[in-house]
Structure 1
Amino acid sequence: MRCFIDENLHTQLVDILQALSPATEFSHAHHEQLSGYDDEDLIPEVARRGFDVLITDDRRQMVNLEELAALQRSGMHWVSLVKVNVFGMHGLGATTATLVAALPHLLDIHQEEQVPQRIRLKGRGRERSQVLTHRPL
């Protein structure tokens, strides 16, 4: 399976996900020299390059009729993350946790489904209280 990570997600996701699933190829828009493309042009180009999955946090692709049509023609699965309005390590951590938790299921869906799927990932906790508790020893 080949997964394309959209430019609106961090480039470091490639190395993290690749380490967890060596049999899956991950590439980022930046590495493919596809940063700055309009989605209507990007989607067919990503499909032409042989990617099976588009990972993004751009949910507008489902409401923009031209982008949606391009996705439907592409034959790729569309994976959307919940937009994380947290930056730096906290934002990367939340995005990474969501993708890592979903990765085995994405691999299963890719094997099981014959038609491209619209997949929305549920976000992992971003606030400290959502991911851990702590108290003095």
Structure 2
Amino acid sequence: MALINEIAARGFSAIITLDSRQLLNTEERNALKDCDMAWVGMGSLDAHGIELHAEMTSVLVANMPTVIDLIDGRPKAIWLTSHHHRRSKPRIESL
């Protein structure tokens, strides 16, 4: 996938998204593997509008130390969950 290849070429080691369908798409999943990138996502959040952005930001900020530790140059999916803006253990799977 051109976008994933471009992101990797720019030196990024992970993408952060709410689009979990990317993992169901074989081409996108293979592109992540080929580029040794991590996919960071979160389950559905019970919010809309500005509240959605606030919830996404709080989940990312609370879990960023763990995410940084998990990004090790091996492709993987890191699923974050929202637990009232606290740090929680993410679910990890190999790509």
Q: Same fold (TM over 0.5)?
A: yes
Residue correspondences, number: 85
Q: Is the 8 A contact 1:78 1:118 kept in 2?
A: yes
Letter of the 2:78 counterpart:
I
1:65 and 2:26 correspond? yes
Q: What is the TM-score when the length of structure 2 is the normalising length?
A: 0.77
Match of 2:39 in 1: 78
Segments of 5+ residues of structure 2 without an aligned counterpart are 86-95
Report the equivalent of 1:93.
54
Output one character per residue of 1:79-105: Cα deviation in whole Å (capped at 9) or x when no partner: 012233532221112111110111010
Query: Is residue 42–residue 79 contact of structure 2 (8 Å, CA) maintained in 1?
Result: yes
Q: Alignment partner for residue 78 of structure 2, among 110, 115, 119?
A: 119
In structure 2, the residue matched to 1:129 is none
**Contact 1:62-1:68 at 8 Å conserved across structures:** yes
Which letter does structure 1 place at the counterpart of 2:7? V
Which residue of 2 is the match for residue 56 of structure 1? 17
Does structure 1 retain, via aligned residues, the 8 Å contact 2:37–2:73? no
- Larger of the two Rg values belongs to structure: 1
How far the C-alpha of 1:55 sits from its partner, in A, is 0.5
Q: TM-score, normalised by structure 1?
A: 0.55
Structure 1: any 5+ residue segments left out of the alignment?
A: 1-39, 127-137
Question: Are residue 43 (structure 1) and residue 28 (structure 2) matched?
Answer: no
Question: 1:44-63 CA deviation, whole Å, 9 max, x = no partner?
Answer: 11111110111011111111
Structure 1 consecutive aligned stretches of length 4 or more whose deviation exceeds 4 Å: none
Q: CA deviation at 1:109?
A: 1.5
Between 1 and 2, higher relative CO (CA 8 Å, sep ≥ 6) is seen in 2
Query: Superposition RMSD on alpha carbons, in Å?
Result: 1.9
Partners of 2:63 and 2:46 in 1: how far apart? 20
| Percent identical residues | 35
CA distance in structure 2 between the partners assigned to 1:57 and 1:106 by the alignment: 15
